[in-house]
Amino acid sequence: MSTIAVLGAGPGLGMSVARRFAKEGYAVGLVSRSADRHPGYLEELSPSGVRAVAVAADLRSAGGAARALAEITSKLGPIDVVYHGPGAHDLSAASVGILETGSDDIRRAVAETVEPAAEVAGLVLPAMRSRRSGAVVYVSGLSALVPLPFLGPYAPASGALRTYARTLAAAAAEDGVHVGSLVVGGLIERGDIHRMLTDLTTPTAYATLDPDELADAVWRLASGEEQELVFDVLTQPGR
């Protein structure tokens, strides 16, 4: 049985990815910062009949990723696919526009965004390259492709993450490993931010993305059908 590690398991895209891969028979390892929701997530996956575990870990803390991935491996076996989709650590920083963003702000945003991605790659790619199979899918924001000044330091950080994923893909392909880039521009339905905003106003006030559709995209990226997929309802509504 193959195993996926879902790094950034939340009620929106993270769990849609978990269900999509469970449908294909994958064992599922869920990782999020808090264990509060884990019983509900595991119950949600139980009808699929696949093995599933949940680990509470902060991927941005020292040793967090290594501990989480080691626990998943010990319980489910070697990890074949990693979905890397943790959200921003401090969304309040995104309220600072790019003109007010300083070098320290950018340094922190890149540390929160790119450093965990590189740490995860360092932990899983050696075994995948040795087996000549496996996949890592990274999620970045639309500001990696489109100027979005209101995102402040997270705009260049998203660009750096996308560039890292694309460059890693070019290097790992010769070893049979797929590295995919999913670029998301829009509010993801059922996610925490979507729920928070729709509690304050009407759901139709925001252009949204279906997490199940995005999960299908993650599947295509992990299987090597595509190297990058872009979903943009911010600047191109109706796409």
**What is the overall mean pLDDT for the chain?**
90
Cα(62)–Cα(74) distance, rounded to whole angstroms?
Answer: 20
Does the pLDDT at position 143 exceed 90?
yes
Cα(152)–Cα(143) distance, rounded to whole angstroms?
Answer: 10
* Mean pLDDT value across residues 169-186: 96
Q: Report how many helices (DSSP H) and strands (DSSP E) the chain contains, helices first.
A: 7, 9
Cα(3)–Cα(64) distance, rounded to whole angstroms?
Answer: 19
Does the pLDDT at position 206 exceed 80?
no
Q: What is the pLDDT of residues 21-50, one digit of tens each?
A: 999 999 999 999 989 999 999 999 999 999
What pLDDT, on a 0 to 100 scale, did the predictor assign at position 202? Answer: 56
Query: Phi, psi at residue 84, to the nearest 5°?
Result: -110, 95
* Mean pLDDT value across residues 214-226: 97
Strands (E), the chain: 3-7, 27-32, 52-56, 81-84, 135-141, 178-185, 187-188, 208-209, 228-232
Does the pLDDT at position 91 exceed 60?
no
Structure tokens at 206: 């925001």
Domain ranges of the chain: 3-231
Give the architecture-level CATH label for domain 3-231.
Answer: 3-Layer(aba) Sandwich (3.40)
What pLDDT, on a 0 to 100 scale, did the predictor assign at position 194? Answer: 47
What pLDDT, on a 0 to 100 scale, did the predictor assign at position 62? Answer: 87
Share of the chain above pLDDT 70, in %: 88
* Mean pLDDT value across residues 170-178: 97
What pLDDT, on a 0 to 100 scale, did the predictor assign at position 197? Answer: 54
